[in-house]
Structure 1
Amino acid sequence: MGSVVNTHQAEAWNGYEGEHWAGNQDRYDAVNSGFNDHLLDAAAVGEGDRVLDIGCGNGQVTRLAARRAPLGHATGVDLSAPMLARARASAAAEGLANVTFEQGDAQVHPFPAAGSDVAVSRFGIMFFADPVAAFANIGRALRPGGRLAFLSLRRMEDNELGEVFAAMARHLPRRPATTEHGGPGPESLADPGRVREVLSGAGFGKVDVTAVDAPQHWGRDAEDAGAFLGAWGPVRFLLDQVDPAAAAQAREALVEALRPFEQAGAVRLRGAAWLVTAARP
């Protein structure tokens, strides 16, 4: 891996967090795949396009983009070695020859200048230490007129997951999966004004921010979904901050809050995101 400035995130995604995502590839794809068509349709990936997938994780979006660009190429970039290993294995199993995965920090990664037609990201752009610098670097990787399309999480209160987390709040030091305004974290680009400010500062134009929703499949039933969510990095961290009795109460509250979302053999919550498009001048 080349230079890294986002060292805290590099440690997380090459430690427990990355291992958990890699070990639960199918489950995380079930959570997020409802957003795939929103993203790839907005990116308008053509058959000969060179696609850059930022924060590609286990590589589902990269592989889908490669299929939409059979005469082009898709490159996924991520900090996480465990997730990239899963991405490469999945691409090989699917027989995709026009896909590559690279380990790197998108904020400083030496992308070939003007080497891509379109950059995409499914929730992989919310953790930059310096988002303006990161998007400027991504912009340099795009040809003049190149396109950017990404998904960022809306406020937790706009997601049904926020209702679930609220049920745990009185047992925990603070709400899971949140961040201070402007800092790296799941809600760092939850404000459309902040999104426009960052992208304009990075040199992008034609910025459009649209609200999109999608169902997220978290598990077979409340107990299964609760165990999975309880092992998710941000929640696990907070559970580790309290005594065992409080942690047990928080886990029980989590399961009970998930029960109303059980339907047809699955726990489905409505996910809320911003679909952002922009262009390099």
Structure 2
Amino acid sequence: MTATVDPSNSAQLDAWNGDQGSFWTRRAQRFNDGVAAYRDHFFTAAAIQPHEAVLDIGCGSGQTTRDAALQAKDGSALGVDLSEQMLELARREAAPNVSFLHADAQIHPFPEGSFDIAISRHGAMFFGDALAAFGNIARALRPGGRLALLTWQPAVRNEWMTTFRTAFAAGREQPVVPPRAGALNDPDLTRDLLTSAGFTDVELRPVSEPMYFGRDVEDALAFVVEQFGWMTRELDTETRDRVVEEVRASMHEHQTEHGVFYGSAAWIVLARRP
């Protein structure tokens, strides 16, 4: 059954059950590998205990849910996402103490006070109504329950974002990022948002790691063209080819013995329900 979503998230549902979801499902391992360097930072900060019940928001293909369940070995982990395609993949690899739910975390009626911690690795940045969403997540936490998020810092601090967006824009004005997508990359806005949603002790910790894009230039190029190529659909063939060559040249400069890497920067956001 299709999840019930808030009208403000209907476009997200269409995207994640459409081409976007297909791409992320097909490339799930590459996306996990891309941000693998952040795993230890994130889970060390989350400090999940063996007996805890974990809620994973925007769990995608379920890697973070499974990682959380390994730490909550005597507890449980529930992953929630809008993408039926990614959840199908997640369920195929689920452990006994892991479950997945196709739902909109902004409005889903989670049992109040049923989780010890809510986590999200880049999955909580696109709610249509972020205040309502985090208020709903706060209600799902027990008193004293914790929130741990991994979110991107602004694009100017993420070499991969600026490099690829600039190249694929091909001299045109870049697409405007919706305000809601930037809410969690600004520390002051994030503190205000989470405090208004009922959280306290909001803390943002900066972390920076190289982001993996492929084993070599051609492997990384195929992935990035698949991810950002939509930006060149209206361009002529000659211009599209020039964009690809520009990205290829950049990737040669970022090739290491372990693959193609670009600089990235994120926030670990921690908070608590009073």
Instruction: Give the TM-score range, shorter chain.
Output: over 0.9
User: Structure 1 residue 211 and structure 2 residue 211: aligned?
Assistant: no
1:255 counterpart letter in structure 2:
R
From 201, 205, 217, give the equivalent of 1:222. 217
Q: Identify the residue that residue 271 of structure 2 maps to in structure 1.
A: 278
What secondary structure does 2:118 align onto?
strand
2:252 to 259, 264, 275: 259
The aligned residue for residue 119 of structure 1 is 118
After superposition, the Cα gap between the structure-2 partners of 1:82 and 1:170, relative to the gap in structure 1 and judged at 3 Å, is closer
With normalisation by structure 1, the TM-score equals 0.92
Looking at structure 1, the residues matched to 58 and 120 of structure 2 have their Cα atoms a distance apart, in angstroms, of 6
How far apart are the structure 2 equivalents of 1:88 and 1:172? 42
Contact 2:50–2:72 (Cα < 8 Å) also in 1: yes
Deviates most, 135-144 or 221-230: 221-230
SS of residue paired to 1:82: helix
1:3-56 residue CA offsets vs partner (Å, 9 max, x unmatched): 212011111111111111111121111012211222211111000000000000
User: Which runs of no fewer than 5 residues in structure 2 stay unpaired?
Assistant: none
Match of 1:179 in 2: 177
- Matches of 1:64 and 1:170 in 2, distance apart? 36
Task: Please name the residue that 2:57 is paired with.
Answer: 54
> How far does residue 244 in structure 1 lie from its aligned partner after superposition?
2.6
Partner of 1:161: 160
The alignment covers a number of residue pairs equal to: 271
AA in 1 matched with 2:116: D
1:2 to 1:20, Cα distance in 2 relative to 1, 3 A: closer
Task: List per-residue Cα deviations over 1:77-124 (Å, max 9, x = no partner).
Answer: 000011111111122xxxx10000000111111111111000000000
1:3 and 1:179 map into 2 onto residues whose CA distance is: 25
> CA distance change for structure 1 residues 45 and 265 in 2, over 3 Å: closer, same or farther?
closer
TM-score normalised per structure 2: 0.94
Q: What is the CA distance between 1:167 and its match in structure 2?
A: 4.8
2:138 maps to 139
Deviates more, 1:219-228 or 1:204-213: 219-228
Corresponding position of 2:5: 4
Equivalent residue number for residue 226 of structure 2: 231
> Structure 1 unaligned runs (5+)?
none
CA contact (8 A) 1:172 1:250 kept: no
DSSP 3-state at the match of 1:246: helix
Secondary structure of 1:206's counterpart equals: strand
